[in-house]
A and B are shown apart, each in its own frame.
Chain A
Amino acid sequence: MTTESLTRRFQDKIDQELKIEPKDWMPDAYRKTLIRQISQHAHSEVVGMLPEGNWITRAPSLRRKVALLAKVQDEAGHGLYLYSACETLGIRRETLIEELLSGKAKYSSIFNYPTLTWADIGAIGWLVDGAAIMNQVPLCRCSYGPYARAMVRVCKEESFHQRQGFEILLTLCQGAADQKAMAQDALDRWWWPSLMMFGPSDKDSIHTAQSMRWKIKRFTNDELRQKFIDMTVPQAEVLGLTIPDPELQWDEASGHYHSGPIDWEEFGQVLRGNGPCNAERLEARQRAHQEGTWVREAAQAYAAKQIEESKKVG
């Protein structure tokens, strides 16, 4: 069969909403796009453990400590399923990790911002996980089977995390003045970076059109961003917090909130490695990997010895 007819058959399958599975033929560009996207997603889960992990040892109550620890552990679990989903595309996890550690692969820029107070843990759950859910719910219908299935599980846990984050902020907002101020400060710092999580504006997004044809993506960046704003503004009202956007207002005609312009210069800077914590995050991953080398080597050596032993016995 010619590449042309294979491609036609592949696209037909997608158009009929059938899943592409690992052994099916797929265009190289589709495979590469998925590897890029799924590995970035996996890396984001793993790097995302760091800003939240920053508050595990200082969580303000035992109940909060246990919940945060379990949450960060869930992120590690998401990283694992996503690396596994990515491996079905014929690339090894070790290679993907090397790409992260060398700075070649990207992860979500949001994790290059610092968690400065306990309220940041609430804000990350509410806003960052909230934005992630917006992005990820449509991915449960992604054309690539293993990715779609991994996302079903990830989304369930993320929505639990989001509620947990909201509840942290609600407790602060119903508490003392210091606590409410802490919550407002967290919203002020996390709001715009959360909006940037949806990626560049549609007119500047180089991947969107093709990914939509392949049904990897179902909505454009701007559509998802708008959905997120529409969902989040009323929640901020429940909390009694002010979203740091003077232009924000309900637009009767469109049925959406109108919001002010995003500072794409800041987005570009963080993406280029000049965010507040880019170097620290990467160094933390590099250090963990390097200090773990002897452990991984020992585990491999031991497993190899066990195989030798069982051969002798067998």
Chain B
Amino acid sequence: MTSTWQPLDHFLLMRGDDCLVLGHRLSEWCGHGPVLEQDMALTNIALDLIGQARLYYQYAGARLGQTEDQLAYLRTERNYFNAWLVEQPNGDFAHTIVRQFYYDWYENALLEVLEGSADEHLAAIAAKSRKEARYHRQFSSEWVIRLGDGTEESHQRMQVALNRLLPYVRELFENQPRHQMLIADGILSDVNGLWEGTEKEMKAVITEATLSFPVAAALPARGRDGLHTEHLGYLLTELQYMQRTYPGLTW
């Protein structure tokens, strides 16, 4: 059911899929945001993330002899390697912000080390993406604080969202056995080692927001192996509709 991917290709797809799936989710807000300015801000982040996804797919595609669109539109659920967190539905604005917040802290920590990757192409993608990722993290952290320390209702909604989504976060910081050689070669780094510092920084923001960092067990998430929650199938059905309905055409 799943194809065998080379470790680096798997990593590139995994990163591309995180960015595309989250970008897709954020794009669902377009035209429906709580206020025009935030509608535009979420769309900006969606644009950045889809742009980043394209960089990973183009690099993987060059290695695999496929186009970015073939990689995005013609792989099935079992060959999508995004983390569970990013495929979770938007929920209310609090859930969207919290999902973004957790993701942004992960992505920043990861890109910071990827900038020093022994693979120059990957290092260049990381350097370019990191500028955007910093701004995303600032945006989501500011909103965590604003909504956490806003009204009683916003505080409650934010705490619910933090609690609901934290169990998905640990997956992001798990080393994948199939990436071991890449880590040994200095192409990737040990993501597990990034957790402690990142957790501490996230806690500081959450505390400033007058919210509590949840205590929750991690879920047995295996998105990196192509095992997903039920949400991804629907997302891909929509995303891939045109390419599946009209195979092989140019748009």
Contacts and interface: CB of A to CB of B under 8 A. Distances in A.
Contact of B30 (A69, A77, A168, A176): A69
Interface stretch (B76-84, B150-158, B187-195, B224-232): B150-158
A49 B35 contact: no
A72 interface: yes
A302 B44 contact: no
A50 interface: yes
**Central interface residue in A58, A60, A80, by most chain B CB within 10 Å:** A60
Nearest to B38: A295
Most buried by A among B20, B38, B39, B241: B39
A291 interface: yes
A57 interface: yes
- Specify which of A46, A50, A53, A175 lies most central, judged by the most chain B CB atoms within 10 Å of its CB: A53
B32 A73 contact: no
B51 A66 contact: yes
Interface string A158-183: 00000000001001100110110000
Interface string B207-250: 00000000000000000000000000000001101110010011
Contacts, number: 133
Contact of B157 (A76, A118, A294): A294
A49 B31 contact: yes
Interface size on B, as a range, is 35 or more
Interface string B30-49: 11111111111001101100
Contacts of A178: 246, 249
Interface residues of A, number: 46
B53 interface: yes
B149 A302 contact: yes
B175 interface: no
Interface string A38-77: 0000000010011001001111111011100110110011
A308 to B, nearest CB: 12
Contacts of B38: 295
13 contacts: A50-B31, A61-B69, A66-B47, A66-B50, A73-B43, A175-B249, A178-B246, A178-B249, A284-B32, A291-B93, A297-B150, A297-B154, A302-B146
